[in-house]
Structure 1
């Protein structure tokens, strides 16, 4: 009777140690970004929705330019270094492997003015309908499934950023979980 009680306690203790080790590995230790498998382009659904966004915006009289899509980890690190260790303005708080761009799940956009020049003027009303073109584009993007970096909590809002996370967190992606349609 006593031996069975101690066996149960040891089994519970062993199970708790295994669970703690798993939780530590997946929720405490940072992922090894050198071994991170990332795609080499936009997720097919994100690419399809990008094209839908540009088409719907154009039909609303708002030409846009997609300024970024998939970014390699090296490209992300170069962008992160901008304004920190290299000249320029800080434009991201995400290092390589910390952006949905690195997983092919994000795009950035700019408006095109009447001369076809890219602008990031959030007050611009090029189609002259009394609404800010920027807000109209973000509204269309949300209708077709994108999330907007303008809605992020905290200090840093990434207004040109649109992403589709397919219900996955960045941590899950870093740990190798794949969005639907990717093997």
Structure 2
């Protein structure tokens, strides 16, 4: 009989512990994300953290004598679909595998960049070394971006998207489609 009570007590404690863990997890999740709903229009501006980090990227790159140009920020669903069709309905190169609503650009969480060379021309040459330090400027910018918390499309294994930088804040495209967004508010404990 004592063994039976000990087993029940152990199971009750395990269930209580797991319940507490679930509550803590959900509380942290609720602090990290806000739900705006599926029917809400996509943002027209960059997420404030992404915007601030993009500004820092431009400043830090300029300090390395690299002139970075942001070529794309928030992208409409229509624009995303147009880019998706590029290379599929024309002789151009495929530039994305993301349809409208499937890109972090559509949610204000991504930017694309290029370089401005010493002649003032915007270029997408990943081997260009305009600051003459023996390193490709493109990869220097990618390293700065990663230090700032961006994920770089050049690190992707399936499709190298060298101009692409994103911050997903732990959110999948599926979650974004369902209306979850990052919450950057600090809550008091």
Q: How does the TM-score come out when normalised to structure 1?
A: 0.76
Q: Deviations over 1:58-113 (max 9, x none)?
A: 11000011010100111111111112225632211110000000000000000111
Matching residue within 104, 117, 128 for 2:108: 104
Shift of 1:181: 3.6
Instruction: Tell me, yes or no, if the aligned pair for 1:37 and 1:176 is still in contact at 8 Å.
Output: no
Matching residue within 127, 131, 135 for 1:127: 131
Bigger relative contact order (CA 8 A; separation at least 6) = 2
* Whole-angstrom CA distance in 1 between matches of 2:180 and 2:43: 12
* Whole-angstrom CA distance in 1 between matches of 2:45 and 2:80: 14
Shift of 1:136: 0.6
Q: Deviations over 1:114-139 (max 9, x none)?
A: 01111111111110111111111000
Partner of 1:65 in structure 2? 69
Matches within 5 A, 1:1-183: 35=39, 37-86=41-90, 88-154=92-158, 156-181=159-184
Shift of 1:38: 1.5
* Whole-angstrom CA distance in 2 between matches of 1:86 and 1:174: 29
For these two proteins, the number of residue pairs brought into alignment is 148
Structure 1 segments, 4+ long, off by >3 Å, are 34-37
Q: Deviations over 1:152-177 (max 9, x none)?
A: 132x1101100000111111111111
Shift of 1:146: 0.5
* Whole-angstrom CA distance in 1 between matches of 2:149 and 2:183: 14
**For the aligned residues, what is the CA RMSD?**
1.6
Q: How does the TM-score come out when normalised to structure 2?
A: 0.74
Instruction: Tell me, yes or no, if the aligned pair for 1:107 and 1:162 is still in contact at 8 Å.
Output: yes
Instruction: Tell me, yes or no, if the aligned pair for 1:166 and 1:180 is still in contact at 8 Å.
Output: no
